[in-house]
Chain A
């Protein structure tokens, strides 16, 4: 077990280093001069040069990278040269918003996918199973932002049941917080739920025909109890894998959905940073997303071992 953990940790560290280099390099060649964007039209060449110096953009790229990566290692995300305020607290603030949104979406996805997937598997030759299957197929094809726009049109603009957009911190007004969270969480969660349903279905279908289920039935368990006690655990391994991958998809999907619902999360910070050529903010946000995705994958790897003792013995 510990060998696995060490291996995975080494891979995680290497991936982070490579990612940081790539993120830095890609943004270094992004067209558009941050100093000129800040100074706007009519700016003289001298003023642009002076501001580039102030921003530290005239230094060699290697020095700029070392400066940035060194800061990251110390947990210092630097000070934005556009907004002149430290990036760390901003990112932390936005990460919380995005985190809540992603977790809520995950919850929606699970609530939809687990029962639906089981029903689809158990009744896969009956009409109800086939119908659910068709619905989930449609769900897989709909992008989250489109689901968002549809939900807004129906539930906010036509029915006026829920606000169309915005964000209220849970502590400020819990009711408003939930109202505003509902539609974005649904639009991200339903689509992911549809994808997840397909995996739950096939995982359950696989275990339905296993010998141990037949043995469990022979011991006197009903079909339902046998499935719950023996089937679900075995079906969980592929589902957890997909969940991990989906968490990454959700984080990235949140960037777009935040835009549709005007949620001040990491995604909107990222897009504003790109527009203002606030390269430091963009680099930091992308790095945070990369770290989040890699960490999730790392945890999923460890979870396998926890769920499936066979993997433990194999090492």
Chain B
């Protein structure tokens, strides 16, 4: 009897000890915040649910939309920034002049900005930041800075940048992460300790879970309403919706399952904001590989797709039909949705002419929600024109990048190209995964960058039309920007066309 008790005592004791140790350990995790803000707090705190999880905080060496979405315009400021209409606006640069040959930019900088490490922001920091893109950054976007000949400080509040040749694209790219201003003494630990001049500073980064931001009380501009903002990351669209419904978060930054919107709109606690993004969902073709080397096959695929029905079926009717690689917020947008109207008979005829009456094509999809659901619709629509699409799914990003992007081992794929002004990147480089090689279009892209603004708009409009007519790919739709928030939260961005999710204008009324 006593032995039984002793044994049970030992077992119970062990379990108890384990529990105590774990609880104690858990609280340690708490003090350095393994959990993050799960419950939303008072009036001046805000919790925003997002989807793309940053692996690190260093966007100079780690690519992806997640890091600039969280940090740009919030923790880091640029010289210039993009507004909701896609226009370039002053930020750390109060104003700027462009020389007549359009190669020299002179920026007048604000003189009251300080970095979160206490250093004052001067033209030297701007020179340092611009040069550092070329010397230390590793992500491919850094190429946008290659056109810079020289950056120099004329005075602590005046910066001069000279370009090798005129470039319309350069100033635009300065609104993206490329243009973020770093402190000369604050770049030692970018992956975990970002130092910027922004309205918020980093309070806590819990990888894979959340980023906590605190209002920067020394901010040089208008101080934001919320004293603390928590960006909370959800990999699952349902979990994200549930968090809003049960009050764990106040805002869904980007709705990933538009079919679930109905559930949220009928709840009168919430408001829904709908706008556009830069995310063209492209049904891409391997343009240098048979049978897509034959224009008639490419055209047949475009005729076979019923875009309206597609977006109604797989993206709950949310999203804009585009017809080429330009979102409606770009100055060179033109409605090209009528170039290839839905016509399965014509598609069949074109295939017959090309000697490909019932081709089998591999549709290799990334493991992303829009690609998975829309891929099925594409497959069934293509079947009606006699095209047999064989679907397989590749884990995104790793496997998709390797197979489709690097090895070009695919016939068709579906992916959203979310970078702004990315028409030239996707279709101007024959080595890109689309393998599209059209010298005429390449010439237009080159001329657009060096020409005047008007010439740029004309050239790009022509390029977009050529791409559409030549059926370089099919453009399924433009991803919508869908924000759901508690009523009373103001300043939410209607369009998501900049790289950042701007938290500085949000307020609670």
Contact = CB atoms under 8 A, between A and B. Distances in A.
Contacts of B18: 103
A257 to B, nearest CB: 12
B416 to A, nearest CB: 11
Interface range on chain A (Cβ under 8 Å from partner) = 35 or more
A32 B398 CA distance: 4
Interface in B110-159: 138-141, 143
Interface in A34-85: 34, 36-44, 47, 50-51, 82-85
Contacts of B405: 41
Given A39-B63, A170-B26, 5 more contacts: A33-B398, A42-B141, A51-B61, A165-B248, A272-B55
A84 B234 CA distance: 22
Given A157-B242, A169-B26, A272-B55, A93 B32 contact: yes
A253 interface: no
A260 B235 CA distance: 9
A137 interface: no
A259 interface: yes
Given A97-B29, A100-B23, A165-B242, A32 B399 contact: yes
A288 interface: no
A34 to B, nearest CB: 8
26 contacts: A31-B402, A33-B401, A33-B406, A40-B139, A41-B140, A42-B143, A47-B140, A84-B58, A97-B29, A99-B26, A100-B23, A156-B245, A163-B38, A164-B239, A166-B35, A166-B232, A167-B209, A168-B35, A168-B38, A169-B33, A173-B39, A229-B1, A264-B35, A264-B36, A268-B208, A275-B395
A272 B31 contact: no
Contacts of B19: 103
Interface stretch (B3-11, B99-107, B284-292): B3-11
A262 interface: yes
A138 interface: no
Contacts of B403: 31
Interface in B28-82: 28-36, 38-39, 53, 55-56, 58, 61-64
Contacts of B10: 306
A160 interface: yes
Contacts of B56: 82-84
A33 B30 contact: no
A12 interface: no
B206 A172 contact: no
B22 A259 contact: no
A301 interface: no
B191 A85 contact: yes
Nearest to A268: B208
B399 A264 contact: no
A169 B35 contact: yes
A260 B239 contact: yes
A277 B234 CA distance: 19
Interface string A166-182: 11111111001000100
B508 interface: no
Given A38-B61, A169-B33, A260-B239, A83 B27 contact: no
B39 A85 contact: no
B38 A171 contact: no
A278 B55 CA distance: 9
A90 interface: yes
Contact of B140 (A43, A84, A168, A271): A43
Interface of B: 1, 3-4, 7, 10-11, 15, 18-19, 22-23, 25-36, 38-39, 53, 55-56, 58, 61-64, 138-141, 143, 189, 191-192, 206-210, 232, 234-236, 238-239, 242-243, 245-248, 395, 397-399, 401-403, 405-406, 425, 432
Contacts of A169: 26-27, 29-31, 33-35
Interface in A113-133: none
B245 A36 contact: no
A164 B248 contact: yes
B201 to A, nearest CB: 19
A43 B39 contact: no
Contact of A42 (B61, B207, B236, B425): B425
B245 A42 contact: no
A206 B382 CA distance: 63
A64 B61 CA distance: 23
A254 interface: no
B372 to A, nearest CB: 16
Nearest to B402: A32
Contact of B11 (A31, A165, A303): A303
A166 B248 contact: yes
B22 A167 contact: no
Given A82-B62, A260-B239, A96 B34 contact: yes
Interface string A259-284: 11110100011011001111000000
Nearest to A102: B22
B23 A37 contact: no
B239 A165 contact: yes
Contacts of A100: 22-23, 26
A82 B242 CA distance: 30
B63 A41 contact: yes
A144 interface: no
A164 B245 contact: yes
A164 B139 contact: no
A152 interface: yes
A201 interface: no
B35 A172 contact: yes
Nearest to B14: A299
- Shortest 8 CB-CB contacts between residues of A and residues of B: A169-B30, A40-B63, A32-B398, A171-B27, A166-B38, A164-B242, A42-B140, A84-B191
A163 B246 contact: yes
B209 A156 contact: no
Contacts of B139: 39-40, 43
Given A103-B18, A306-B7, A31 B399 contact: yes
Contacts of B247: 163
A38 B38 contact: no
Nearest to A50: B138
A93 to B, nearest CB: 5
Contacts of B210: 264
A92 B242 CA distance: 29
B401 A41 contact: yes
A94 B10 CA distance: 28
Contact of B30 (A84, A172, A229): A172
A314 to B, nearest CB: 18
Contact of B206 (A38, A43, A264): A264
A221 interface: no
A17 to B, nearest CB: 26
A164 B246 contact: yes
Interface in A1-50: 30-34, 36-44, 47, 50
Given A82-B55, A166-B248, A264-B36, A36 B30 contact: no
Contacts of A94: 34
Contact of A272 (B28, B53, B234, B401): B53
Nearest to A169: B30
A96 B53 CA distance: 22
B29 A277 contact: no
Contacts of B29: 93, 96-97, 169
B32 A260 contact: no
Nearest to A240: B11
A306 B39 CA distance: 45
